């Protein structure tokens, strides 16, 4: 029986260059998606999947991300003084949503390096990695499925999604053989292949469940493209040694590190919002009539 996964690591120390100039001074994880910063969706997803120990890999530029899950005593007291008890409770609840700790990546030396910094916190246990560029609006279903797959197989599990071949060069790509249900056995991993070299149309998405042995493999990775330590290199070693599964999914993902998908997330999630949705829907209908002649 595989060990239960209790910890999640959220690497959030990247520079966010695809979202400049916003990200010059504002961490992309703090961009609001409707009425919550993106990072909150990711921590809530981990909690929904049953994980309550979260390690943020932060950087000197990402202090607001750490602060979002800390107490804000002054703010809470002022809200209480004004009788805004529900707002005060909401602010306080963010500090209690999970056990959120952080470690700093002093230099952006790559995703693999960021994950390796979690070694001391995680120890000799399996753990989940959630990239906060990807927000999943699925109530934790994908991550729960991946945790269950780890429990059944005792092998690391990576989230995979089908993409058109023309887009595959933006992602890590996995060759895989069918296993059972949405689980496939990963046989090859290639980082950002040209479409003609890609072994499949399955792209690696920002959700992983790793056996603790990944830390040893990360320690052996030499800097690759741009001097970065690539997570994919360590995953390829781990896969070759002890095997790895892919969990194929299709719904619920937004890449909010990318401007176009960020806009899609904002509109679709605003439409689903219980308070804001109905009025926003009417606004969109009117807008479409006025500007698009629909």
Positions touching ligand UTP (CB under 6 A) are 11-19, 57, 105, 108-111, 113-114, 131-133, 257
Q: Which C-beta is closer to ligand UTP: that of 49 or that of 111? A: 111
- Nearest-approach distance from CB 57 to ligand UTP, in angstroms: 5
Beta-bridge partner residues of 202: 162
Q: Which C-beta is closer to ligand UTP: that of 57 or that of 205? A: 57
* C-beta separation of 110 from 228 below 8 A: yes
Torsion, CA 114, CA 120, CA 125, CA 131, rounded to 10: -20
Nearest by Cα to 88 from 71, 68, 65: 71
CA 67 to mean position of chain CA atoms: 19
- Nearest-approach distance from CB 258 to ligand UTP, in angstroms: 8
Distances, alpha carbon 31 to alpha carbons 8, 119, 262, 263, in Å: 21, 28, 9, 11
- Nearest-approach distance from CB 85 to ligand UTP, in angstroms: 35
Distance in angstroms (rounded) separating the CA atoms of residues 280 and 222: 50
Q: Which C-beta is closer to ligand UTP: that of 88 or that of 172? A: 172
Q: Which C-beta is closer to ligand UTP: that of 224 or that of 243? A: 224
- Nearest-approach distance from CB 78 to ligand UTP, in angstroms: 32
Nearest by Cα to 230 from 183, 189, 174, 290: 189
Q: Which residue is nearest to ligand UTP, using beta carbons? A: 14
- Nearest-approach distance from CB 231 to ligand UTP, in angstroms: 8
Q: Which C-beta is closer to ligand UTP: that of 150 or that of 208? A: 208
């Amino acid at each position: 029986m595989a060990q239960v996964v209790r910890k999640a690591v959220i690497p959030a120390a990247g520079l966010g260059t695809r979202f400049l100039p916003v990200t010059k001074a504002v961490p992309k994880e703090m961009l609001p998606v409707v009425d919550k910063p993106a990072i909150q969706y990711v921590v809530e997803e981990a909690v929904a999947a049953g994980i309550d120990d979260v390690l943020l890999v932060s950087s000197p530029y990402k202090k607001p991300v750490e602060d979002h899950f800390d107490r804000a005593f002054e703010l809470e007291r002022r809200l209480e003084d004004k009788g805004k008890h529900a707002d005060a409770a909401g602010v306080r609840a963010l500090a209690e949503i999970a056990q959120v700790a952080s470690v700093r990546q002093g230099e952006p030396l790559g995703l693999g390096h960021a994950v390796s910094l979690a070694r001391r916190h995680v120890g000799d246990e399996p753990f989940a990695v959630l990239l906060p560029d990807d927000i999943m609006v699925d109530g934790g279903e994908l991550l729960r499925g991946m945790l269950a797959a780890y429990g059944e197989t005792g092998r690391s599990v990576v989230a995979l999604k089908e993409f058109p071949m023309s887009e595959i060069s933006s992602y890590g790509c996995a060759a895989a053989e069918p296993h059972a249900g949405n689980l496939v056995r990963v046989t090859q991993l290639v980082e950002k292949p040209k479409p003609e070299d890609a072994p499949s149309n399955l792209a690696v998405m920002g959700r992983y469940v790793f056996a603790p042995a990944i830390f040893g493999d990360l320690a052996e990775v030499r800097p690759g493209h741009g001097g970065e330590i690539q997570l994919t290199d360590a995953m390829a070693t781990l896969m070759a040694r002890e095997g790895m599964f892919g969990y194929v999914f299709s719904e619920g993902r937004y890449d909010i590190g990318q401007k176009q998908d960020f806009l899609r997330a904002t509109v679709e999630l605003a439409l689903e919002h219980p308070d804001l949705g109905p009025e926003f829907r009417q606004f969109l209908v009117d807008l479409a009539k006025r500007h698009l002649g629909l």
